Amino acid sequence: MADATDGDTRVSLLLRAVRPYGEGDPVDIAVRDGVIVAIGAGLDVEADEVVDGAGGVVLPGFVDLHTHLREPGREDTETIETGSAAAALGGYTAVFAMANTDPVADTAVLTDHVWARGQQVGLVDVHPVGAITVGLGGERLAELGAMADGVAGVRMFSDDGKCVHDPLLMRRALEYARGLDVLIAQHAEEPRLTVGAIAHEGPQASRLGLAGWPRSAEESIVARDAILARDAGARVHICHASTSGTVELLRWAKAQGIAITAEVTPHHLLLDDSRLQTYDPVNKVNPPLRESSDCAALRAALAEGVIDCVATDHAPHAAQDKCCEFAVARPGMLGLQTALSVVVATMVAPADGGAPGLDWRGVARVMSERPAQIVGLPDQGRPVDVGEPATLTVVDPDASWTVRADDLASIAENSPFDGMTLPARVTATVLRGRITAFDGKVRPL
Ligand SMILES: NC(=O)N[C@@H](CC(=O)O)C(=O)O
Ligand SMILES: [Zn+2]
Ligand SMILES: [Zn+2]
């Protein structure tokens, strides 16, 4: 038994019968002042709170690099409070809230507000992402330095929702980011190639008469930004990689030693453009659902590490903006509460009977460790070990549940997994020793 209780037997939390990374027999985890002080079988300690882990898998708390919380501006679809609840229930202990709010988060006033609001709610660390350009207009750099120096200490910048398509501006942003040691995250979409595009440019879209979003719209920007990052000596992160071509470009760039990282969303791992046949706008998303060959390439790339991590791109939309004709509907899908289960269904215990791409250590890597490393979070994505922060997620690997979009914590209900029965379930989430979600209920401050 590893023990740092220095003889004092009182602890604040005792997590009973959990299996770190799904390995070995169940052990207990004792926590004091937010730190793991002992791990061992049948710990004999008195605890202010005892939680039964019921033999579940315990992992470091999940970190989402790509979440849309919609506050300020569209609090009718999600707020920092409801989004934080969805995150905690989904096993997340940190999320990065994208800047495409209204007003856009392009000044320290906005990013500091989002940070403070997230701390006030206290269910998850809400890190604001700063806009790269003023108003996401793609013309003038925003005040990256002021946002980085603000209370929120912004460490990631993105115009997500839009692409920084001007190459000179992207070059400047990368050079500036290098100086500030912050990360630029690109929504890779060459807008001249996606004019009017609403679905993946492939056989499905042509058969259904839907204007296509070619793979090249993403891949041409990924290739360009890899080279710009190389020349600027800067890091670049690719949001929601969606194509097999992007995987090959990432492989090439990493082999060149370029500081490029990428995320894949749960929906791009599981869903393909065959879902377009119903014209249900819940399946409309940017970048669009691609072909099954792309899903396979993305899963292999995630297993191999060519794609670094999973990010949800949790994108709430109001019914009036989503449940309308496909061409007009807003793109985007809910993802926070279903992410772990979709990762299990595609990577750990593939529903299609394919070979597992990840074990539970792999899940820890792609949902917690790598995202935290990419964005430089010091106290997230840490090992489940004595002396480390008690920021943990407990998963019941044998559970199975049917998604009910109207039961999810988000205000919006645009989940493409509605009605699906998915494997595994988050049973408890702990943020620095404090239970933030247990047995499907959040524990507000
Ligand atoms: N993914 C989407 O289809 N929509 C996102 C924006 C984005 O991630 O591009 C949104 O904010 O709704
Ligand atoms: Zn995007
Ligand atoms: Zn997004």
List the one residue out of 361, 359, 57 whose CA is nearest residue 369.
Answer: 361
212 alpha carbon, distance to own chain's centre: 26
pLDDT at 197 over 60: yes
Can you tell me whether residue 397 is helix, strand or coil? strand
Is 425 marked as binding a ligand?
no
Q: What is the pLDDT of residues 320-332, one digit of tens each?
A: 999 999 999 999 9
Looking at the chain, the whole-number percentage of residues with pLDDT higher than 70 is 98
pLDDT computed for residue 388 by the predictor: 98
Ligand 2 centroid – CA 284 distance (Å): 13
From the number of C-beta atoms within 10 Å of its C-beta (0-12, 13-18, 19+), residue 364 rates as buried
Is 64 marked as binding a ligand?
no
pLDDT computed for residue 352 by the predictor: 83
**Contacts with 103 (C-beta within 8 Å, 6 or more apart), sequence order:** 72, 73, 110
Distance, in Å, from the CA atom of 242 to the CA atom of 265, rounded to the nearest integer, reads 8
Which of the four pLDDT bands, split at 50, 70 and 90, describes residue 226? Answer: very high
pLDDT at 215 over 70: yes
Q: Which ligand is nearest to the CA of 77?
A: 1
The residues pairing with 183 across neighbouring beta strands, listed in sequence order, are: 156
ipTM (interface pTM): 0.99
Q: Are 106 and 143 in contact (CB under 8 A)?
A: yes
Q: What is the pLDDT of residues 14-58, one digit of tens each?
A: 999 999 999 999 999 999 999 999 999 999 999 999 999 999 999
Whether the model clears a pTM of 0.90, i.e. scores above it, the answer is yes
Q: What is the pLDDT of residues 349-376, one digit of tens each?
A: 998 888 999 999 999 999 999 999 999 9
How many Cα atoms occupy the beta-carbon half-sphere of 95 within 13 Å? 35
Looking at the chain, the whole-number percentage of residues with pLDDT higher than 90 is 96
Known catalytic residue: 181?
no
Ligand 2 centroid – CA 162 distance (Å): 7
Distance, in Å, from the CA atom of 6 to the CA atom of 38, rounded to the nearest integer, reads 10
Residue nearest to atom 10 of ligand 1 (CA): 315
List the one residue out of 408, 438, 429, 422 whose CA is nearest residue 86.
Answer: 408
Residue nearest to atom 2 of ligand 1 (CA): 332
pLDDT at 419 over 90: yes
Mean pLDDT of 73-95: 98
Which of the four pLDDT bands, split at 50, 70 and 90, describes residue 172? Answer: very high
pLDDT computed for residue 3 by the predictor: 67
Which of the four pLDDT bands, split at 50, 70 and 90, describes residue 2? Answer: low
pLDDT at 7 over 70: no
Which of the four pLDDT bands, split at 50, 70 and 90, describes residue 4? Answer: low
pLDDT at 128 over 80: yes
Catalytic residue chosen out of the listed positions 294, 313, 321, 418: 313
Q: Are 92 and 409 in contact (CB under 8 A)?
A: no
Q: State whether the beta carbon of 67 lies less than 6 angstroms from ligand 1.
A: no
pLDDT computed for residue 354 by the predictor: 87
Can you tell me whether residue 50 is helix, strand or coil? strand
Of 67, 267, 286, best ligand 1 pocket probe by most atoms within 8 Å of the beta carbon? 286
In whole angstroms, how large is the CA radius of gyration of the chain?
21
Q: What is the pLDDT of residues 296-319, one digit of tens each?
A: 999 999 999 999 999 999 999 999
